[in-house]
């Protein structure tokens, strides 16, 4: 039995990195769902794809590049340039579909240029694409120094399209629950992903990609001697990646509805990390486009876990992804090193036995590394308590207050049009604000009262900002779960032209619509602040 | 008669490693003299020299120091992305040693009074420098260990410290930007004896590394490892030790650059010291003509490469180009340099010069 398993593993050893990533993804999601009930909501699962669709698009292109033994550092710059150009062109009134077409052309063209430099001038991909990153990022600032916001009907419509997953939706309707949905970017990302799999496995071009990158990227000469179109393929791979970057940039622009040269900084590292975690070797020639989705999923999942935990700063995402990437690179190089010995003996003796032990060590290593990661995420807030600092001592005592909703009707009666409440957080606050049409803002935190006067145009701007962001549309809905210890709960009621709508939400999760946080930050900017030292 | 003599000289010149970097520097300085008035004006204040050209040399000194170490690493066929992170670590170590207020160590009761004394320090200058350089050396050794002994790709292996380095630096200083009050330390980056001190430091380091590589056989070993590691292994050169040495020197250089940078801004800014400077260092080496694939290197050419970058930066600032847009200019410079050094383009050049010689 053991021999059979060992033989099976040996036979399918090229799938080990992919499979361990898939396993890791499932395991992490399960553990997350056990600790954070909010994660059991299926929409959270689909939100991971919604928030990272551009990453997936970019990662598919990057997988092909890495398979040839190259690398493309320019993706983040390309995405930034696409967002800025899209925003600038739309501001000039160019038709949005024409803009999309132009962006895809621009991405492909820049990819073509970089690919030509790499293939014809025999320049290291690292240097050529680094120059590409500098140029694309720099060009953004020639177009505009500041962020350009996008207000275009088509883009708004695109961002509002909801795609319900066939099969899943019916099941939810039967159960009487709100069915989860994805955005159009996810659908496009999956089309790109599936075409990536098809191209890499079933076309002549795809096999040439593998041939060029084989033998740790040293196979180029052999591929050329076999008569394969090495140069053309290399140029094409970078062109495809440029196209993917352009597409990712369009969806990034749709996602954030603005363009700026500093967007997506360091994204190329996330993309490369996803590809590596998806089981593709950085040296090239080995790996699958198929696995890339798991890498992207793990990356998104780590972000979600850290958001649900709420007390960890976002750079922990970088640390965890960095550690995981390193583990995967280590595993791959170990697998590669033990490859030579495996053909010598079928039975588990000598080298094969050593291989087997090594593999067991690797598996244990992955699991241990992962356990440490999860442990850090779960234990970090508890460890924080031992510092005995003032804030943690306070938050230790903190009991989340009940929302003072009963006061809201009274405030509305007195003429308030926006009622905003925030409670919880590390300092355990409970603040209730009311904003009146004459620009008066009153606030209370239970102990002290505060007042502020804003001008009436400012007030109108604020209210218009809320309504224009789609306050009264279906885009905003309650997403309430028990807040984590450091998170804030929000409660916002807006009245306009007889319409009344209240939306609750908790930060530190991904389930609330992104637009909700934009609105909250608008209100947060307007209301006066309580003296924290009290 | 004269044409026959000039053609070989021209050929000799174009074949020299210093020709292209010097040409680039010359072109930039020429453009500067045309477009920027008073570019070369130098003032004398208290016997020290000040001016744009001096500024270029002073600001370039950090990249010059880094480029020296980077040249050796690239010559072995590797790359070191972690220099910025190591700079931040060295700066943090130095700052915490001079001004350990925030870590809650047991301090003399009258410490705060000493804070106003510019000559007060918790540890003497030589101790600060030695300890932070040892830390930098350890960082370099870690990179060397990963690349030479663990056989991890240099780009990936050094990426660890590039990302983790800033985190480590934050840990050392407890996430605080430590102010440096100690005057002798600030002298490293801000002092002048006729010329800026940091420039002297870069030149001394250049001479030391040049002696180490060119007056011993180490330089040749590094080149042979870069050209063909297997062949050099069979001829009795320990490839691993040579790589280790290169990365350790690079770490040391990064440490020195970190000290210069932190003394220049008088803080240990773990988040911003040496941010993206690794790209400048690599660019300097590339402009200097050392092949990214490893092999023959020239330290002096890398120094000139660093000057070229700083000259571009300074002239762009003088022309009023915003800092972020500067990246695009740098990118175009890289593409241009790539074109100059690419084999097909060089062949065209060679054909041209040969034809000229034949005609003569």
Please name every residue paired with A504 in a beta bridge, in sequence order, or none if there are none. Answer: A491
What's the pLDDT tens digit per position in B194-243? 888 999 999 999 999 999 999 999 999 999 999 988 898 898 899 999 99
Q: Residue B172's pLDDT is what?
A: 81
Mean pLDDT of all residues in A164-169: 78
Instruction: Give the percent of chain B with pLDDT over 90.
Output: 33
- Cα of first residue to Cα of last residue in chain B, in angstroms, is 9
Q: Is residue A316 part of a domain?
A: yes
Contact B322 A141 (CB under 8 A): yes
> B334, B339, B343: best mutation site toward chain A, by most A Cβ within 10 Å?
B334
Shared domain for A339 and A411, answered yes or no, is: no
Contact B292 A329 (CB under 8 A): no
Q: Do residues B258 and B88 touch, judged by C-beta distance below 8 A?
A: yes
Comparing CA positions, the residue from A129, A319, A288 lying closest to residue A209 is: A288
> B81, B328, B330, B336: best mutation site toward chain A, by most A Cβ within 10 Å?
B328
| Tokens, residue A215 | 């033998």
Among A512-516, B75-79, B85-89, the least confident range: A512-516
Helical pair B183-190 and B197-214, crossing angle rounded to 10 deg: 70
Specify the DSSP element, H or E, that contains A422.
Answer: strand A418-424
Q: Residue A346's pLDDT is what?
A: 46
Contact A134 B328 (CB under 8 A): yes
Residue A351's pLDDT band (boundaries 50, 70, 90)? Answer: low
Which residue among B163, B326, B343 places its CB closest to the CB of A122? B343
Q: Do residues B298 and B17 touch, judged by C-beta distance below 8 A?
A: yes
For chain B, say whether A128 makes contact (Cβ under 8 Å): yes
Q: Is residue A411 part of a domain?
A: yes
Contact B327 A142 (CB under 8 A): no
Q: Which residues have a Cβ under 8 Å from the Cβ of B26 and sit 6 or more positions away?
A: none
Q: Residue A395's pLDDT is what?
A: 37
Q: Residue A362's pLDDT is what?
A: 65
Shared domain for A321 and A242, answered yes or no, is: no
Q: How far apart are CA B93 and CA B137, in angstroms?
A: 13
Contact B163 A322 (CB under 8 A): yes
Q: Which residue has the higher pLDDT, B96 or A311?
A: B96
Top-level class of domain B2-319: mainly alpha
Q: What residue of B is the nearest CA neighbor of A128?
A: B335
Q: Residue B21's pLDDT is what?
A: 83
> A127, A137, A271, A283: best mutation site toward chain B, by most B Cβ within 10 Å?
A127
CA of B328 vs chain A CAs: smallest distance (Å): 4
B-contacting residues in A 145-164 (Cβ below 8 Å): 145
B-contacting residues in A 315-374 (Cβ below 8 Å): 315, 318-319, 322, 326, 329-330, 333
Q: Residue A365's pLDDT is what?
A: 67
Please name every residue paired with A246 in a beta bridge, in sequence order, or none if there are none. Answer: none
pLDDT at A286 over 60: yes
Please name every residue paired with B215 in a beta bridge, in sequence order, or none if there are none. Answer: none
Q: How far apart are CA B339 and CA B337, in angstroms?
A: 5
Contact B293 A329 (CB under 8 A): no
Q: Which residue has the higher pLDDT, A416 or B134?
A: B134
Measured CA distances, B288 to A142, B202, B291, B297 (Å) = 29, 16, 9, 8
* Chain A / chain B CB contacts < 8 angstroms: 96
What's the pLDDT tens digit per position in B3-56? 455 566 767 666 677 887 888 888 888 888 888 777 778 888 777 788 888 888
Shared domain for A99 and A243, answered yes or no, is: yes
Phi, psi torsion values for B69, nearest 5 degrees:
-65, -40
Contact A141 B325 (CB under 8 A): yes
CA of B116 vs chain A CAs: smallest distance (Å): 29
pLDDT at A308 over 70: yes
Q: Across chain B, which distance is largest between two alpha carbons, in Å?
A: 84
pLDDT at A155 over 50: yes
CATH number at residue A443: 3.30.1560.10
Residue A386's pLDDT band (boundaries 50, 70, 90)? Answer: very low
Mean pLDDT of all residues in A149-167: 83
Shared domain for A375 and A486, answered yes or no, is: no
Q: Do residues A50 and A296 touch, judged by C-beta distance below 8 A?
A: no
Chain B residues in contact with A84 (beta carbon < 8 A): none
| Tokens, residue B190 | 């801000």
What's the pLDDT tens digit per position in A25-39? 888 888 888 888 878
| Tokens, residue B158 | 């050094």
For chain A, say whether B27 makes contact (Cβ under 8 Å): no
pLDDT at B341 over 80: no
Q: Residue B267's pLDDT is what?
A: 81
Q: Which residue has the higher pLDDT, A482 or B320?
A: B320
- Range(s) of the domain holding residue A454: 407-526
Instruction: Give the percent of chain A with pLDDT over 90.
Output: 23
CA of B45 vs chain A CAs: smallest distance (Å): 37
Q: Residue A402's pLDDT is what?
A: 53
Residue A382's pLDDT band (boundaries 50, 70, 90)? Answer: very low
For chain B, say whether A519 makes contact (Cβ under 8 Å): no
The radius of gyration computed from the CA coordinates of chain A, to the nearest angstrom, equals 26
Residue A200's pLDDT band (boundaries 50, 70, 90)? Answer: very high
Q: What residue of B is the nearest CA neighbor of A266?
A: B163
For chain B, say whether A114 makes contact (Cβ under 8 Å): no
Residue B254's pLDDT band (boundaries 50, 70, 90)? Answer: very high
pLDDT at A221 over 60: yes
| Tokens, residue A321 | 């992804």
DSSP state of A442: E
Among A354-368, B154-168, B278-292, B314-328, the least confident range: A354-368
Comparing CA positions, the residue from A282, A270, A361, A293 lying closest to residue A328 is: A282
3-state DSSP assignment of residue A430: strand
Domains in chain B: boundaries: 2-319
Chain A residues in contact with B164 (beta carbon < 8 A): 319, 322
Q: Is residue A206 part of a domain?
A: yes
Shared domain for A469 and A321, answered yes or no, is: no
Q: Residue A68's pLDDT is what?
A: 92
Q: How many CB atoms lie within 10 A of CB A477?
A: 15
Shared domain for A111 and A143, answered yes or no, is: yes
Chain B residues in contact with A121 (beta carbon < 8 A): 338-339, 342-345
Alpha-carbon dihedral sign for residues A402, A406, A408, A411: negative
Residue A396's pLDDT band (boundaries 50, 70, 90)? Answer: very low
Q: Residue A196's pLDDT is what?
A: 95
Q: What residue of B is the nearest CA neighbor of A260?
A: B324
Q: Is residue A340 part of a domain?
A: yes
User: Which one of A169-173, A434-438, A477-481 scores highest in mean pLDDT?
Assistant: A434-438
Q: Residue A383's pLDDT is what?
A: 41
CA of A41 vs chain B CAs: smallest distance (Å): 34
pLDDT at B1 over 50: no
Q: Residue A369's pLDDT is what?
A: 66
Q: Which residues have a Cβ under 8 Å from the Cβ of A318 and sit 6 or more positions away?
A: B163
Contact B153 A142 (CB under 8 A): no
Among A88-92, A460-464, B50-54, the least confident range: A460-464
For chain B, say whether A123 makes contact (Cβ under 8 Å): yes
Chain B residues in contact with A376 (beta carbon < 8 A): none
Residue A108's pLDDT band (boundaries 50, 70, 90)? Answer: very high
Helices in A386-418 by DSSP H: which ranges?
390-397, 407-413
Q: How far apart are CA B133 and CA A327, in angstroms?
A: 29
Shared domain for A297 and A282, answered yes or no, is: no
| Tokens, residue A271 | 């993309």
Contact B338 A117 (CB under 8 A): yes
Shared domain for A448 and A350, answered yes or no, is: no
Comparing CA positions, the residue from B70, B87, B309 lying closest to residue B189 is: B87
Q: Residue A237's pLDDT is what?
A: 96
Q: Residue B222's pLDDT is what?
A: 93
Contact B330 A134 (CB under 8 A): yes
Q: How many domains does chain A have?
A: 3
Q: Residue B72's pLDDT is what?
A: 95
Shared domain for A283 and A150, answered yes or no, is: yes
Shared domain for A225 and A142, answered yes or no, is: yes
3-state DSSP assignment of residue B107: coil
Q: Which residue has the higher pLDDT, A367 or A476?
A: A476
A-contacting residues in B 265-284 (Cβ below 8 Å): 279, 282
Q: Which residues have a Cβ under 8 Å from the Cβ of B102 and sit 6 or more positions away?
A: B173, B174, B176, B178
Among A359, A379, A399, which residue terminates a domain? A379
Residue B314's pLDDT band (boundaries 50, 70, 90)? Answer: confident
Mean pLDDT of all residues in B333-352: 78
Shared domain for A225 and A368, answered yes or no, is: no
Q: Which residue has the higher pLDDT, A354 or B279?
A: B279
Q: Residue A462's pLDDT is what?
A: 79
Which residue among A127, A136, A139 places its CB closest to the CB of B338? A127
Q: Which residues have a Cβ under 8 Å from the Cβ of A454 and sit 6 or more positions away?
A: A439, A441, A462, A526
Among A287, A316, A338, which residue terminates a domain? A287
CA of B345 vs chain A CAs: smallest distance (Å): 8
Q: Which residue has the higher pLDDT, A81 or A342?
A: A81
Q: Residue A532's pLDDT is what?
A: 52
Shared domain for A512 and A372, answered yes or no, is: no
pLDDT at B354 over 60: yes
Instruction: Give the percent of chain B with pLDDT over 70.
Output: 88
């Amino acid at each position: 039995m053991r021999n059979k398993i060992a033989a099976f593993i040996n036979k399918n050893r090229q799938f080990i990195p992919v499979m361990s990533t898939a396993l890791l993804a499932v395991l992490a999601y399960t553990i997350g769902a056990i600790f954070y009930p909010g994660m059991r909501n299926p929409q959270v699962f689909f939100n991971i794809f919604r928030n990272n669709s551009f990453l997936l698009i970019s990662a598919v292109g990057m997988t092909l590049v890495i398979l040839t033994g190259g690398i493309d550092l320019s993706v983040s710059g390309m995405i930034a340039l696409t967002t800025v150009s899209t925003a600038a062109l739309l501001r000039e009134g160019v038709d949005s579909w024409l803009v999309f077409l132009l962006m895809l052309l621009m991405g492909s063209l820049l990819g073509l240029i970089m690919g030509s430099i790499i293939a014809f001038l025999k320049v290291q991909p690292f240097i050529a694409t680094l120059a590409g990153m500098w140029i694309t990022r720099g060009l953004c600032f020639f177009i505009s120094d500041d962020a350009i916001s996008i207000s275009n009907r088509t883009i708004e419509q695109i961002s509002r399209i909801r795609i319900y997953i066939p099969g899943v939706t019916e099941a939810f309707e039967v159960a009487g629950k709100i069915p989860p949905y994805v955005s159009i970017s996810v659908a496009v990302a999956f089309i790109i992903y599936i075409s990536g799999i098809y191209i890499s496995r079933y076309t002549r071009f795809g096999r040439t990609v593998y041939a060029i990158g084989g033998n740790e990227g040293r196979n180029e000469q052999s591929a050329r001697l076999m008569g394969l179109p090495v140069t053309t393929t290399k140029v094409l791979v970078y062109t495809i990646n440029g196209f993917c970057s352009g597409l990712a940039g369009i969806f990034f622009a749709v996602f954030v509805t603005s363009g700026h040269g500093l967007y997506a900084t360091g994204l190329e590292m996330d993309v490369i990390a996803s590809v590596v975690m998806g089981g593709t070797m950085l040296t090239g020639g080995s790996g699958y486009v198929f696995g890339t989705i798991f890498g992207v999923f793990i990356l998104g999942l780590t972000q979600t876990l850290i958001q649900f935990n709420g007390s960890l700063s976002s750079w922990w995402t970088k640390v965890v992804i960095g550690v995981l990437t390193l583990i995967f690179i280590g595993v791959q190089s170990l697998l590669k090193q033990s490859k030579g010995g495996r053909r010598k003996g079928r039975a588990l003796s000598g080298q094969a036995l050593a291989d087997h032990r090594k593999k067991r060590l690797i598996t244990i290593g992955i699991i241990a590394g992962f356990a440490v990661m999860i442990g850090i995420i779960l234990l970090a807030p508890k460890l924080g308590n031992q510092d005995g600092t003032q804030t943690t001592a306070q938050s230790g005592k903190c009991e989340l207050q009940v929302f003072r909703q009963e006061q809201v009707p009274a405030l509305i009666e007195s003429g308030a049009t926006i009622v905003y409440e925030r409670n919880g957080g590390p300092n355990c606050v409970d603040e209730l604000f009311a904003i009146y049409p004459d620009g008066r803002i009153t606030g209370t935190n239970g102990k002290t009262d505060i007042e502020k006067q804003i001008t009436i145009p400012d007030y109108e701007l604020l209210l218009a900002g809320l309504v224009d962001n789609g306050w009264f549309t279906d885009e905003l809905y309650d997403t309430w779960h028990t807040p984590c210890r450091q998170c804030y709960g929000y409660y916002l009621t807006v009245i306009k032209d007889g319409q009344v709508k209240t939306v609750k939400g908790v930060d530190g999760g991904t389930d609330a619509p992104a637009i909700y946080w934009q609105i909250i930050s608008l209100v947060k900017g307007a209301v006066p602040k309580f003296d924290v030292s009290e | 008669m004269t044409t026959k003599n000039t053609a070989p000289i021209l050929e000799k010149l174009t074949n020299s490693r210093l020709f292209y970097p010097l040409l680039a520097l010359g072109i930039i300085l020429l453009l500067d003299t045309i477009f920027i008035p008073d570019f070369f004006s130098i003032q004398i204040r208290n016997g020290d020299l000040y001016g744009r050209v001096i500024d270029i040399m002073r600001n370039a000194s950090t990249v010059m120091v880094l480029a020296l170490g980077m040249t050796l690493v690239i010559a072995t066929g590797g790359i070191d992305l972690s220099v910025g992170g190591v700079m931040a670590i060295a700066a943090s170590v130095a700052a915490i040693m001079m001004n350990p207020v925030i870590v809650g160590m047991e301090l003399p009761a009258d410490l705060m009074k000493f804070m106003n004394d510019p000559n007060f320090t918790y540890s003497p200058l030589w101790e600060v420098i030695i300890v932070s350089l040892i830390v930098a050396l350890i960082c370099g050794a870690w990179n060397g260990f990963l690349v030479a002994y663990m056989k991890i790709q240099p780009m990936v292996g050094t990426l660890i410290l590039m990302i983790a380095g800033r985190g480590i630096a934050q840990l050392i200083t407890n996430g605080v930007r430590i102010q440096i009050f100690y005057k002798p330390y600030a002298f490293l980056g801000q002092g002048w004896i006729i010329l800026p001190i940091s420039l002297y430091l870069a030149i001394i380091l250049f001479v030391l590394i040049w002696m180490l590589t060119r007056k011993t056989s180490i330089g040749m070993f590094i080149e042979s490892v870069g050209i063909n590691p297997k062949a050099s292994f069979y001829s009795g050169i320990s490839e691993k030790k040579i790589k280790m040495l290169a990365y350790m020197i690079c770490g040391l250089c990064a440490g020195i650059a970190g000290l210069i940078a932190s003394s220049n801004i008088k803080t240990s800014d773990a988040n911003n010291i040496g941010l993206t400077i690794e790209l400048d260092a690599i660019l300097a080496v590339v402009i200097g003509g050392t092949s990214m694939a490893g092999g023959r290197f020239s330290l002096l050419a890398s120094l000139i490469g660093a000057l070229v970058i700083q000259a571009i930066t300074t002239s762009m600032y003088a022309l009023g180009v915003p800092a972020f847009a500067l990246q695009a200019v740098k990118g175009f410079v890289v593409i241009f340099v790539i074109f100059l050094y690419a084999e097909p383009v060089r062949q065209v050049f060679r054909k041209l010069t040969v034809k000229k010689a034949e005609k003569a």
